[in-house]
Amino acid sequence: MFSIIYFPLASALALPSLPNGLWDILREGHVSSFAYQMSRIAESLDDELHAASWWQLRADLQVALGCHANAEESYRTSQKMIRTGKHDVHVASTRNTGWQAFFRYRFATAMACFSRLTDEHGIDPRRRLEAMFGVMCVQFQLGNLRASEHALQMMLSTLETSIAEIESTDDWFEIVHTLQADIAVQRALRSRPQLSDHVYWRSEISRELGLSNGTDVGDGRLLTALLATVKSPILRSRIHYLTALHKLAGGEHKAMNDLTAHLRWATVNGLVPYQKFAREEIALASIAGGAPHIAEIVLSALSAENRHAPDHGQLEYLYCLAKTRQAEGRHYDAMLLYSRYALSAMQCLRESSRAVSYLYRTGQREEVLDDVAARLPAKYRRAYRYILENLERSDLSVKEIAIEIGVTIRALQNVFKSCLGATPRDVIRQRRMERIRAELQGEEKHSEEGVQQAASRWGVRHRSSLAMDYKNQYNEVPSETLKRSGR
């Protein structure tokens, strides 16, 4: 997860305001010091309007640093402080669930959350930009390099068209340009012939040969040019690191001195989880550059923390370890490790497929935990499931749902409002509009009469209700969707 070094920056830039002194601490890369200052301020603020944002940023830093239990509590505190309306609670809940899911390797749920926010009507442009960043992060972790590059292009387009609405656009541009170079280096590294059996990445790289429109790292001049324009010290540190990584993958083993210095820098600045991913990248570059002995030394610090990691958390580690054992002539051990890697890669590719066929992009029902269910307590997920199972019934009522799970109507309403920023009736309406929109955007041709038939199939009987609810959700009426889809 190379994105872990960018996340605190994107999170802070998405806030309404951040004092310059604190922003400078973060730009310098002093993440642990910044997190400490954030905690002090969040706990001392009496103004709930601003405190909610500060608690959210505190939670972001906690989740990025691996403190998931503390982050969950901080996110909950932040959402309770929001007094500006249901829409803001909904956006915060969706966004917070997305980042928690991402750092727990639940990428299908994370993709659902971030995709929903990029399409959200009336969302703050900074939050939309951050959601696009989230989509980019998920796509990369799923091995979809072209999709991650496309997400960065979307960020650039959003920045260029929203300059008047987004503060600190220069900082955002620096992040996006550094990310473009980062992905170019990652692509070049994983395209090396020495890593041709890294099937998780090769399945994507082999499909896109000659198709990518992304940035080409070339001989490293791209990174040198980037250093002339990027001013943020934390990003400059990453660019220096990428330069050394590219050299090591090309066989320049002396570049390891700069990479070791970068690891020390990460330790001093409290970026402990980031070190894990940096070490795995260095191990890949070492193998690509014909120095598997360097890979083994770099990986030796990770053995304990990878023992119980999920499949995505073990993928690079298992692959690199298998390659080092093979280089040592320990072929049986290498075969066992590679078998474990291949099994993990298959499971991760299934996760990738599930995320790409995300419910709200295909209009199909989803059996896995989606972003709405993920934000609800276990008991109330049954209520959400019951809603989805009975969505086509026009007589579906909140009272019926409450009876189904054995709670009062008021309890059901309160939990949905606090967790989702929406009432059960809002959720029913939103899911119905999503199903109708999916049909209108499908392959089957529709007339105006067909629109009403699609609405009736999903429990919407009145034309006026359809037009009003649809426009509130998508900022257009169904006939405009048909026109755009060429139906």
Handedness of CA 270, 272, 277, 281 (dihedral sign): positive
How far out from the chain centre does Cα 287 lie? Answer: 28
Q: Looking at the domain assignment, is residue 330 inside a domain?
A: no
CATH number at residue 181: 1.25.40
Q: Looking at the domain assignment, is residue 55 inside a domain?
A: yes
466: tokens are 């359809």
- The domain boundary, picked from 301, 327, 350, lies at 301
- The domain boundary, picked from 278, 301, 324, lies at 301
Domain hosting residue 473, numbered range: 376-484
pLDDT exceeds 80 at position 477: yes
pLDDT at 365: 39
Q: Looking at the domain assignment, is residue 264 inside a domain?
A: yes
Domain count, the chain: 2
Instruction: Considering only residues 168 and 418, tell me which one the structure prediction assigns the higher pLDDT.
Output: 418
Longest dimension (CA), the chain: 73
Same domain, 255 and 385: no
pLDDT at 100: 87
pLDDT at 367: 42
Residues 6+ positions from 86 with CB-CB distance below 8 Å: 417, 421, 422, 423, 426
Q: pTM for the whole thing?
A: 0.77
3-class secondary-structure state, position 33: helix
The 10s digit of each residue's pLDDT in 53-96 is 888 888 888 888 778 788 888 888 888 888 777 788 888 888 88
Residue found under tokens 């001392």 = 44
Amino acid at residue number 220? G
pLDDT exceeds 50 at position 20: yes
Amino acid at residue number 374? A
- The domain boundary, picked from 282, 301, 320, lies at 301
Residues 6+ positions from 74 with CB-CB distance below 8 Å: 42, 55, 56, 58, 59, 62
User: What is the distance between the alpha carbons of residues 137 and 132, in angstroms, rounded to a whole number?
Assistant: 9
Same domain, 170 and 58: yes
Same domain, 200 and 78: yes
Residues 6+ positions from 462 with CB-CB distance below 8 Å: none
Same domain, 181 and 284: yes
The 10s digit of each residue's pLDDT in 107-116 is 888 888 898 8
Average pLDDT rounded to a whole number, residues 143-170: 84
226: tokens are 């980037």
Q: Looking at the domain assignment, is residue 180 inside a domain?
A: yes
User: What is the distance between the alpha carbons of residues 316 and 322, in angstroms, rounded to a whole number?
Assistant: 10
pLDDT at 344: 83
pLDDT at 46: 64
Helix axes 68-80 and 48-64, enclosed angle (nearest 10)? 160
pLDDT exceeds 50 at position 363: no
On the 0-12 / 13-18 / 19+ scale of CB atoms within 10 A, 331 is exposed
Q: Which helix (H) or strand (E) holds 332?
A: helix 331-356
CATH number at residue 391: 1.10.10.60
User: What is the distance between the alpha carbons of residues 136 and 346, in angstroms, rounded to a whole number?
Assistant: 22
pLDDT at 336: 93
